[in-house]
């Protein structure tokens, strides 16, 4: 204990102790000298002899120092100072190193922190690893949600689960602290009564739900607040329990506040209000097997594995499908229903609607940023090797002065760690910015906030990545540059004899090129895929039309809403610059869609069973507003009312499927009464429009029929579309002012242009193309630097040889070609290694690509071309320098 | 694994079995420690130079002590609490740092002397064995 304490203490008294030791040695030498003089030596000889007797003073002091303090700390401090001095002497190298590391480490941190937040972080509940969910897949499955009866059926299986709760997807709810207050919005989630007990979350105030709070449909107007919401919105007022709040215009009584720190189980959406599931749906929908809106959250019974549960759940699900869809008359519908599955999935890290869409791109990015860091490390290793070669003399000198190899290697590694530390700090700053940049791609309508708070796991990841990269790029150069024979090193003329070093450097450049190839191929694939998506024919022109929604008080009746919507449309049409206003469900590029079955009298297709087509509900002038004037017939207009004859407009796909005789379908009849082959009440086709991509660029276009809103109201809120000559920044405030006239309770939500919605629809593709493009370019730049370094070094070494060649009559063009050929050879090797790996990588991302094969000739050919170009560009300067060598000068130096 | 080490080429002349991981310096140091402690025990407080001279005298000149190595050794002994030091005046009225052995140091001498005697006895047997061959 004592030596350790003294040693640490010595760290702080180093100066005084050093002086004391110097004193002691001086006294020692003086005594010895005096003794020798007394023995008859001359003063000079006596001093010399005393020194000889003592041995190496510097060594003694060094050993003393090492033993005195904590050598590790002192040595490191000294190494750090030495490294800083060295880096200061070559600021260009230091800047390049720190910058490339910062980009590498920062990108890794940014992506990892998103991966961690979205996929890895455990829920703050009791024993999260026991939690599973039953994730519905296929068919119309969206985000894994299931029906309430299904959740109840799962809860019956006490042999599999200790308990099963259900929760809705969190959503923005209108919320008023009392009837007179302005409406605010709060995150609301419907949960079953056992939700809190299953999660192991107690109440901070009052009580949380029990099963008794979730029995009678619409019979439990209760709400539980989250701790944060209680503190921030109600100032932690304990009297809030028992108060009545208006949530979605319904009075709910506060019964309690959930435990501090619990924000629900949905990633990126902290819940503020919880209400019972029985309050979340109309009684007729609540028990409907076809209404999917809840996530089951289950705790596995002791001893039950996920695989075991999966087998039992699959059987249960099969029975459910048989019971519910087995006798369905509509074969097309039934087929789709039976495509659904129910998967037992791990729920320890919570739920997310975004995970399915965003998880795969994130994983691809994680791999890509890993490659970027590898490229940066190889590049740095190369630069360090070059520095080491230039410092051979210095190192040889230090060996002969008594430095050990271990000491020199440690010094080299200290420099690497210092660079990594600087890269880590700068990278963390870059990561904060980069994360924000990535998050901007996520559609605002998903309302998910993944912005992360610095967490221990992410910090540990960053540190680990930094240290590992320091070892990656630092170890080989440190070992190689210290493998110097002192005698030879001191004699040699600088860089003359580093043949083995040159081989290693070439190997590193080849590796670097190979890594870059993978990144560039990925960038090429994603860019090509994005270009294909951009090239998809939308079927309409007005990408600048604004689409938005109106949010009405829940107490308003359907007629009130319809009237207000009509008035708003009429007023908006009178605004200056507005060309047309219309509305539709589903709106262009909004989440949602609608199917309907119908019969087409006279068509082979529907003679045996009704056909399943997509349906759109649109108001007057809809196709004019989005810029897709019917190619045959007419648009909907004001004369299409509830009382006029039933009309419809079809798209080309519909026409091709059901009227294959190519005759003009306008005037033909379809029927939504699908009970008999010849149909019932007729609907007359009045127009044909182009194939409009309404539901996402990736989904393609199915046969679609459009009907006037006035004749068939789906009951869902439509999107309002405004086509105007004025820019959105002027138009949106003007629309808001118009809306004020309808009453302050109506709110305009999500005003965006269709173009913005299209961008959001393909956000993963844009994200991947942008980021992989950036990383590819970065890797290429680094590869160019590496290539340039190696080629320039090689030509400098061969200056004598080249001089002789020129003297013997070699043509300058021949010399240029000789140098370029070397560079091309390195790139060719890199390509040979990188392309097969790229192909394997491309196969893993094939599912994310749109209309692009994994072995995409465009991406691969471009990559090869770009790298050859880079090789030529990087080698051009050294080649020109080599060609301009004056033989006389070089030979004189030899 | 243990392997024989001949360190006659070094400053001291011993034939030893060494286990991998030991370094030659440590062996030398171990012996130097005992020398320093014994010298201080029998001769009383000494300054660095005096100590170096005594050790060389006692070894009868057979030991080519690199005087500089003495100071790190003294520091080590002091850190272990086997010796302590203070600044004082030498015979020639010169300022010098004096070292003296502590109680803990004396106990250490006893222990190490025993170890050393045992080692020597073992080694002697080996040396005799070698002569018989």
Q: Does A11 touch chain B (CB under 8 A)?
A: no
Report which secondary-structure segment, H or E, holds A699: none
Question: CA B115 to CA B106: how far, in whole Å?
Answer: 14
- Considering only CB atoms, A60 lies closest to which of B47, B71, B76, namely B71
DSSP codes of every residue in A36-51: HHHTT--HHHHHHHHH
| Cβ distance of A54 and B67 shorter than 8 Å | yes
Measured in angstroms, the CA of A477 and the nearest CA of chain B are apart by 27
Q: How confident is the model at residue A662 (pLDDT cuts 50, 70, 90)?
A: confident
Q: Given the DSSP bridges, would you call strands A131-137 and A647-651 parallel, antiparallel or unpaired? A: unpaired
- Residue A57 Cα, gap to closest chain B Cα (Å): 6
Confidence of residue A769 (pLDDT cuts 50, 70, 90): very high
A51 and chain B: CB distance < 8 Å anywhere? no
| A7–B79 CB contact, under 8 Å | yes
Nearest CA in chain A to B46: A28
Query: Residue A59 is nearest to which of B48, B68, B76, comparing CB atoms?
Result: B68
Query: Which of A722, A681, A687 lies closest to A705 in space, CA to CA?
Result: A687
Cβ distance A241 to A206 under 8 Å? yes
- Read out DSSP for chain B? -EEEEE-TTSSS--EEEEEBTB-HHHHHHHHHHHHHHHHHHHH-SEEHHHHHHHHHHHTTT-----GGGHHHHHHHHHHTTSEEEEEEE-TTS-EEEEEEE-HHHHHHHHHHHHHHHHHHHHHHHHHHHHHH-
Shortest distance, CA B35 to any CA of chain A (angstroms): 18
- The residue whose two tokens read 């068919």 is A139
Question: Does A646 have pLDDT greater than 90?
Answer: yes
Closest chain B residue to A28 measured between Cα atoms?
B49
pLDDT of residue A501: 65
Contact A24 B76 (CB under 8 A): no
Q: Are strands A647-651 and A611-618 parallel, antiparallel or unpaired?
A: unpaired
Please indicate if any CB of chain B lies within 8 Å of the CB of A400. Answer: no
**Contacts with B32 from chain A: Cβ below 8 Å:** none
Per-residue pLDDT for A596 more than 70? yes
A contacts of B47 (beta carbons < 8 Å): 27-28, 31
B67: nearest CB among A20, A23, A53: A53
Q: How confident is the model at residue A527 (pLDDT cuts 50, 70, 90)?
A: very high
Does the pLDDT of residue A4 top 70, yes or no? Answer: no
What's the pLDDT at B9? 29
- Judged by average pLDDT, the poorest of A72-86, A121-135, A361-375, A403-417 is A72-86
The shares of helix, strand and coil residues in chain A, as percent rounded to the nearest 5, are 55, 15, 30
Q: So what's the pLDDT on residue A681?
A: 87
pLDDT of residue B8 exceeding 60, the answer is no
Q: A638-647, A655-664, A829-838: which range is least confident on average?
A: A655-664
Residues of B in contact with A20 (CB under 8 A): 97
- ipTM of predicted assembly, 2 dp: 0.70
Residues 59-88 of A with CB under 8 A from B: 59-60, 63-64, 66-68
- Mean pLDDT, chain A, integer: 85
Q: Which residues of chain A make contact with B66, given a CB cutoff of 8 A?
A: 54-55
Closest-approach residue (CA) in chain A for B49? A28
**pLDDT above 90 as % of chain B:** 6
Rounded to a whole number of angstroms, the distance from the CA of B42 to the nearest CA of chain A is 21
Mean pLDDT score, A385-406: 79
Question: How far does A51 lie from chain B, in Å, by closest CA?
Answer: 10
pLDDT by residue (tens digit) across A577-595?
Answer: 999 999 998 888 876 667 7
* A27 shares contact with chain B (CB less than 8 Å): yes
Q: Which of B46, B72, B83, B91 to mutate to test the interface with A (most CBs of A within 10 A)?
A: B72
**pLDDT exceeds cutoff 60 at A82:** yes
What pLDDT, on a 0 to 100 scale, did the predictor assign at position A785?
A: 85
Q: Is the pLDDT of residue B77 over 90?
A: no
Q: Which residues contact A850 (CB under 8 A, 6 or more apart)?
A: A529, A530, A532, A533, A697, A698, A765
Cα–Cα distance for residue pair A541/A95, rounded to 1 Å:
49
- Reported as a single tens digit per residue, the pLDDT across A298-335 is 999 999 999 999 999 999 999 988 888 787 766 767 77
Q: Examine the pLDDT at A456 and tell me if it is beyond 90.
A: no
Q: Would you state the structure tokens that stand for residue A620, as one six-digit string?
A: 């007057």
Q: Cβ of A801 under 8 Å from any chain B Cβ?
A: no
| Residues sharing a CB contact under 8 Å with residue A546, sequence separation 6 or more, in sequence order | A721, A722, A723, A724, A728, A731, A732, A735, A751, A752, A753
The answer to whether A887 and A804 are in contact (CB under 8 A) is yes
pLDDT beyond 60 at A731: yes
Task: Please report, to the nearest 10 degrees, the dihedral formed by the alpha carbons of residues A7, A8, A10, A15 taken in order.
Answer: 140
Q: Which residues contact A73 (CB under 8 A, 6 or more apart)?
A: A11
pTM of the model: 0.73
- Scanning the structure block, which residue is given the tokens 């006279």? A602
pLDDT score recorded for residue B3: 33
pLDDT in tens, A182-241: 778 888 999 999 999 999 999 999 999 999 999 998 899 999 999 999 999 999 999 999
Interface contact flag, A24 B96, Cβ < 8 Å: yes
Q: Is residue A17 over pLDDT 80? A: no
Q: What is the pLDDT of residues A865-887, one digit of tens each?
A: 999 998 898 888 888 888 888 88
Strand pairing report for A273-276 and A184-191: parallel
Distance CA B14, CA B123 (A): 10
B9-64 per-position pLDDT tens digit: 222 233 333 333 333 333 455 678 888 898 898 888 888 888 888 887 887 666 66
The C-alpha atoms of residue A34 and residue A27 are separated, in whole angstroms, by 10
Could A55 and B66 be called an inter-chain contact, meaning their C-beta atoms sit closer than 8 Å?
yes
- In chain A, what residues touch B96 (CB-CB under 8 Å)? 24, 27, 31
Looking at the complex, does the CB of residue A322 fall below 8 Å from at least one CB of chain B? no
pLDDT the model gives residue A22: 84
Tell me if chain B has a CB within 8 Å of the CB of A38. no
| Residue A575 burial class via C-beta count within 10 angstroms: exposed 0-12, middle 13-18, buried 19 and up | middle
Answer yes or no: do B68 and A55 touch at CB < 8 A.
Answer: yes
Compare all CA atoms of chain B with the CA of A63 and give the residue at the minimum distance: B72
The residue of chain B with its CA nearest to that of A1 is: B80
Q: Which residues of B touch A7 (CB under 8 A)?
A: 79
Q: And the tokens for A150?
A: 């299904």
Quick check: A24 contacting B, CB < 8 Å?
yes
**With pLDDT > 90 as the criterion, what percentage of chain A qualifies?**
30
What is the arithmetic mean of pLDDT over A502-518?
89
Categorize the per-residue pLDDT at A698 as very low, low, confident or very high, splitting at 50, 70 and 90. Answer: confident
pLDDT at A43 over 80: yes
- B97 and A31 within 8 Å at the Cβ level: the answer is no
B→A interface, C-beta within 8 Å: 47-50, 52, 66-69, 71-72, 75-76, 79-81, 90, 92, 94-97
pLDDT at A2 over 60: no
| Strand, coil or helix: A62 | helix
DSSP state of A671: B
**Segment A469-487 mean pLDDT:** 82
* pLDDT at position A214: 92
For A627, phi then psi, to 5°, come to 85, 50
Check B49 against A27: CB less than 8 A apart.
yes
Residue with tokens 């739900």: A209
Distance CA A775, CA A766 (A): 14
With beta carbons under 8 A apart, name residues in chain B contacting A2. Answer: 79-81
Helix H segments across A707-762? 728-740, 754-761
- Top residue of A11, A28, A35, A49 to mutate, by most chain B CBs within 10 Å, is A28
Smallest CA–CA distance from B79 into chain A, residue: A3
Greater pLDDT, A122 or B5: A122
């Amino acid at each position: 204990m004592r030596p350790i304490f003294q040693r640490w203490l010595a760290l702080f008294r180093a100066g005084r102790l050093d002086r004391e030791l110097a004193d002691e040695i001086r006294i020692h030498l003086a005594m010895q000298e005096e003794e020798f003089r007394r023995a008859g030596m001359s003063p000079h000889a006596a001093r010399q002899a005393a020194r000889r007797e003592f041995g190496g003073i510097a060594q003694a002091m060094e050993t003393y120092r090492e033993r005195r303090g904590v050598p590790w700390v002192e040595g490191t401090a000294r190494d750090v100072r030495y490294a800083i001095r060295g880096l200061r002497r070559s600021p260009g190298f230091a800047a390049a190193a720190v910058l490339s590391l910062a980009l590498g480490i920062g990108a890794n941190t940014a992506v990892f922190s998103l991966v961690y937040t979205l996929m890895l972080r455990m829920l703050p509940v009791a024993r999260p690893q026991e939690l599973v969910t039953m994730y519905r897949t296929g068919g119309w499955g969206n985000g894994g949600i299931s029906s309430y009866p299904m959740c109840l059926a799962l809860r019956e299986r006490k042999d599999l689960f200790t308990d099963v709760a259900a929760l809705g997807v969190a959503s923005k709810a209108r919320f008023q602290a009392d009837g007179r207050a302005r409406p605010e919005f709060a995150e609301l989630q419907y949960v079953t009564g056992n939700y809190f007990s299953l999660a192991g979350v107690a109440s901070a105030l009052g009580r949380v739900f029990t099963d008794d709070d979730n029995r009678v449909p619409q019979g439990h107007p209760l709400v539980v607040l989250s701790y944060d919401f209680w503190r921030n919105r109600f100032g932690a007022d304990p009297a809030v329990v028992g108060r009545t709040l208006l949530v979605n215009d319904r009075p709910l009584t506060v019964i309690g506040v959930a435990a501090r720190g619990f924000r629900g189980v949905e990633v990126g959406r902290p819940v503020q209000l919880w209400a019972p599931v029985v309050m979340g749906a109309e009684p007729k929908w609540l028990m409907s097997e076809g209404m999917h809106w809840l996530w089951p959250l289950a705790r596995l019974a002791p001893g039950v594995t996920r695989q075991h549960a999966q087998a039992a759940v699959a059987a249960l699900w099969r029975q459910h499908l048989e019971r519910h869809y087995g006798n369905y008359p509509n074969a097309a519908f039934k087929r789709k229903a039976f495509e659904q599955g129910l998967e037992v999935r791990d729920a320890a890290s919570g739920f997310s609607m975004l995970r399915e869409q965003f998880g795969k791109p994130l994983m691809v990015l994680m791999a890509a940023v890993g490659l970027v860091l590898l490229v940066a490390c190889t590049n740095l290793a190369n630069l360090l090797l070059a520095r080491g070669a230039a410092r051979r003399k210095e190192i040889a000198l230090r060996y002969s002065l008594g430095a050990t190899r271990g000491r020199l290697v440690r010094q080299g590694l200290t420099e690497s760690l210092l660079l990594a530390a600087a890269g880590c700090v700068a990278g963390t700053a870059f990561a904060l910015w980069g994360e924000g940049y990535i998050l901007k791609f996520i559609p605002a309508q998903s309302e998910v906030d993944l912005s992360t708070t610095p967490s221990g796991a992410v910090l540990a990841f960053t540190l680990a990545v930094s240290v590992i990269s320091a070892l990656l790029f630092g170890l080989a150069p440190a070992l190689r540059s210290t493998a110097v024979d002192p005698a030879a090193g001191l004699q040699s003329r600088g860089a003359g004899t580093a043949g083995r070093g040159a081989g290693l450097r070439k190997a590193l450049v080849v590796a670097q090129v190979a890594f870059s190839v993978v990144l560039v191929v990925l960038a090429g694939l994603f860019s090509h895929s994005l270009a294909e998506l951009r090239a998809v024919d939308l079927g309409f022109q007005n990408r600048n039309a604004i689409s938005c929604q109106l949010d009405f008080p829940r107490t308003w009746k359907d007629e009130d809403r319809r009237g207000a919507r009509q008035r708003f449309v009429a007023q908006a049409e009178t605004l200056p610059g507005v060309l047309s206003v219309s509305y539709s469900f589903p709106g262009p590029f909004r989440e949602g869609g609608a199917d309907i079955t119908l019969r087409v009298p006279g068509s082979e297709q529907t003679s045996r069973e009704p056909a399943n087509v997509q349906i759109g509900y649109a108001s007057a002038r809809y196709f004019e507003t989005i810029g897709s004037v019917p190619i045959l017939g007419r648009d909907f207009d004001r004369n299409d009312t509830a009382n006029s004859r039933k009309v419809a407009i079809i798209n080309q796909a519909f026409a091709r499927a059901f009227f294959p005789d190519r005759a003009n379908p306008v005037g033909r009849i379809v029927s939504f009464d699908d009970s008999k082959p010849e149909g019932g009440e007729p609907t007359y086709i009045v127009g044909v429009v182009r194939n409009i991509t309404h539901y996402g660029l990736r989904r393609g276009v199915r046969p679609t029929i459009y009907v006037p809103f006035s004749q068939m109201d789906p009951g869902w809120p439509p999107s309002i579309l405004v086509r105007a000559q004025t820019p959105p920044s002027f138009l949106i405030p003007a629309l808001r002012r118009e809306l004020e006239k309808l009453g302050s309770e109506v709110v305009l939500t999500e005003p965006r242009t269709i173009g913005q919605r299209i961008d959001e629809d393909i956000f993963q593709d844009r994200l991947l193309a942008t980021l992989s493009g950036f990383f590819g370019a970065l890797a290429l730049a680094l590869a160019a630097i590496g290539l340039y370094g190696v080629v320039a070094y090689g030509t400098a070494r061969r200056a004598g040889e080249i001089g002789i060649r020129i003297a013997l009559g070699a043509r300058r063009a021949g010399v240029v070609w000789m140098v370029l050929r070397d560079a091309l050879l390195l790139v060719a090797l890199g390509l040979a290694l990188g392309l097969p790996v790229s192909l394997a990588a491309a196969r893993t991302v094939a599912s994310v690509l749109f209309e692009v094969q994994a072995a995409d000739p465009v991406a691969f050919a471009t990559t090869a071309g770009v790298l050859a170009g880079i090789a030529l560009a990087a080698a051009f300067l050294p080649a020109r320098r080599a060609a301009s060598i004056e033989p006389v000068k070089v030979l004189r130096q030899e | 694994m243990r392997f024989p080490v001949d360190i006659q080429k070094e400053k001291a002349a011993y034939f030893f079995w060494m286990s991998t991981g030991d370094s030659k310096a440590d062996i030398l140091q171990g012996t130097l420690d005992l020398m320093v402690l014994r010298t201080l025990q029998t001769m009383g407080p000494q300054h660095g130079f005096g100590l170096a001279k005594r050790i060389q005298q006692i070894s009868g000149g057979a030991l080519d002590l690199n005087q500089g190595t003495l100071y790190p050794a003294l520091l080590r002994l002091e850190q272990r609490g086997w010796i302590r030091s203070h600044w004082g005046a030498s015979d020639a009225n010169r300022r010098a740092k004096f070292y003296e052995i502590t109680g803990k140091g004396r106990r250490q001498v006893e222990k190490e002397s025993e170890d050393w005697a045992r080692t020597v006895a073992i080694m002697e047997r080996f040396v005799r064995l070698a002569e018989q061959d």
